[in-house]
Chains A and B, each alone.
Chain A
Amino acid sequence: MAEPNRLERRDFVKVVVAVLGSIMGAVIVLPGIGYLLSPALSVQKKEAWIPLGPLENYPIGVPTLFSFTQTTVNGWEKTVNSHGIYVVRFDEVNYTVLSNMCTHLSCRVTWQEDLNEYICPCHDGHFDIEGQVTFGPPPAPLNEFETKIEDGNLFIFFAEG
C-alpha cells in the first residue's frame, strides 16, 4: 500500500496524460487558429513619399493635375489604384498640393479654368484655388498633402485610409 503522502501510480499517470495531452492539443490547435487569423492581424502600410518631379515643371497660378498609381497587394491579388492630386504654385516659392478627392462623398474634383474653382460633378461642390469650400455640400476644404523638396524634386507624403 502506498503511504499517505506518496503519489499513487494511477494519479501520476493521470497528471502526465493531462499535461502531455494539453501540450499536444495546444501544438495542434494554436497553429490552426494562427492560420485562420493571420491575414486579419497583419496591417498593411499604405504610406509612401510620392515623387512628383521638379517643381519647375508645374506652371505658376494654374493648378495642375498629377496622376499616379499605387499597387496594393491583398493576399494573392494585386490591385492598382490610381490617384490624382493638384499641384498649385502661387509664386516661385509658395506652393501647395491638394487631393482631388471631394470631402463630401469622395468624387473627384476638376479645376475649371473659367470659374477659377475646383468643381465636384456629383453634388456641385465648389472649392477655390487653395481648396477652401466656396459653395455646395462639402463639409471641409480639400485635403492638403505634406510636402518636401529633395534634390530639386517635389514629394508628397501619401497615406491611404
Chain B
Amino acid sequence: MAEKVFTWLDERLGLTTIYNTVLDRKVPKVNWWYTLGSASLFLFVIQAVTGIFLTVYYVPSPDHAYDSVQFIMNEVAFGWLIRGIHHWGASLMVLFVFIHMLRTFYFAAYKYPREITWLTGVFLLLATIGMGFTGYLLPWNQRAYWATTVGTEIPGTAPLIGDFIIRILRGGTDLSAVTLARFFSVHIWFLPAIILLLIGIHMYLVIRIGISSVPHKEDNPKEG
C-alpha cells in the first residue's frame, strides 16, 4: 500500500530524481572540512526555527524588549532552551560559515567554474555577520545597547558619508526605538530573505557543478 502511494507520488513529483540529484550525487573523495557547508545550512535551519519561536513572545519595543526576553528566559516553558540554542547557534553559525570560507579559499575551490558559488558565498558570509550584528541589539540590555552604539559609530568614521551612514543605521541620530524596530525588521525579514535566495543559488550551483576535489601536488605537473 505504502509502496503504491509512493509510486503514485514519485511519478508526479519526481521524488527519486530529486533524491538522486541532490543526495545521491557523485562526490570526489573528500575530508571532514567538506562538511562545513552542510553544517552551516543546518545551523541556518536551527536559527530560523528557534528565531520563529522567539518571535512568539519577543516585542521589538524599548518598553518591552528587555522584559519580554526575561519572560522568555524565566516564565515560558523551555524558553531558556529556545533562546539558548538561538544564542549559541548564532555564534556557531558565524564560526562555521567563516571556516567554510577559509576551506574554500585554501583549497582553491573558488576557481573556474565555481566563481559564482564563491561570490554568493561571500555575500552569505556578510549576511550572516549582518544577522549577528542586528540580532545583538534585540535583547535591549546594556551590552546590546552599547555594542550597537559602538558598532554604528564605526562606519560613522567614514569620510564625508559617515554621518549619513550612522543616520541610516540608527534611523536618526540617536540609538532609539526606531533603531530597535529596524534592526528587528532587518534581522527577521530582509536578511533571512536574502540568505534564503543566496542559499538557493549557492546550492543549485553546488549540485549543478559538483564539488571540487582536494588539491594534490600531482595536479600541477610543473611542480615536483
Binding site for B on A (CB under 8 A): 31-32, 34-39, 41-42, 75-77
The contact string, 1 if C-beta is below 8 Å from chain A, for chain B 61-88, is 0001001101100011111011000000
A76-B59, A76-B64, A77-B64 known; A35 vs B70 contact (CB < 8 Å): no
Of all chain B residues, which has the CB nearest A37? B77
Which of B53, B67, B68 contacts A35 (CB under 8 A)? B53
CB of B57 within 8 A of chain A?
Answer: yes
**5 closest residue pairs by CB, A with B:** A38-B77, A76-B67, A31-B78, A34-B77, A76-B68
A77 CB contact (under 8 Å) in B67, B75, B77: B67
Is B5 part of the binding interface, using a Cβ–Cβ cutoff of 8 Å? no
Q: CA of A75 to CA of B68 in the docked complex: distance in angstroms?
A: 7
Q: Tell me whether A32 and B67 are in contact in the complex, defined as CB-CB below 8 angstroms, given that A75-B75, A76-B59 are known contacts.
A: no
Chain B's closest residue to A75 (CB) is B71
State the Cβ distance, A21 to closest chain B Cβ, in Å.
16
Q: Is B56 an interface residue (CB 8 A)?
A: yes
Interchain CB contact under 8 A, A35 and B76: yes
Choose one: B53, B70, B78; the contact of A76 (CB below 8 Å).
Answer: B70
**A38–B78 CA distance with the chains assembled, in angstroms:** 9
Which B-chain residue is minimally distant from A41 (CB atoms)?
A: B77
Q: Which residues of B contact A (CB under 8 A)?
A: 53, 56-57, 59, 64, 67-68, 70-71, 75-79, 81-82
List 18 additional contacts besides A31-B77, A42-B75, A76-B64; criterion CB under 8 Å.
A31-B78, A32-B53, A32-B78, A34-B77, A35-B56, A35-B78, A36-B53, A37-B77, A38-B79, A39-B76, A41-B77, A75-B68, A75-B75, A76-B57, A76-B59, A76-B68, A77-B64, A77-B67
Nearest-CB distance from A120 to chain B (Å)? Answer: 36
Q: Are A31 and B67 in contact (CB under 8 A)?
A: no
| Smallest beta-carbon distance B42→chain A, Å | 13
Given contacts A75-B57, A76-B59, contact A35 B71 (CB under 8 A): no
A-side contacts of B64, CB under 8 Å: 76-77
17 A-B pairs (CB sep. < 8 Å): A31-B78, A32-B82, A34-B78, A35-B56, A35-B78, A35-B82, A36-B56, A37-B77, A38-B76, A38-B78, A39-B75, A39-B76, A41-B77, A75-B68, A75-B75, A76-B64, A77-B67
Closest to A77 in B: B64
- CB contacts (< 8 Å) of A36 on chain B: these are 53, 56
Alpha-carbon gap, A35 to B73, bound state (A): 11
Chain B residues lying within 8 Å of A34, measured Cβ to Cβ, are 77-78
Determine whether the beta carbon of A76 is less than 8 Å from that of B77.
no
Q: For B81, give the chain A residue with the smallest CB separation.
A: A31
Contacts of B78 in A (CB 8 A): 31-32, 34-35, 38
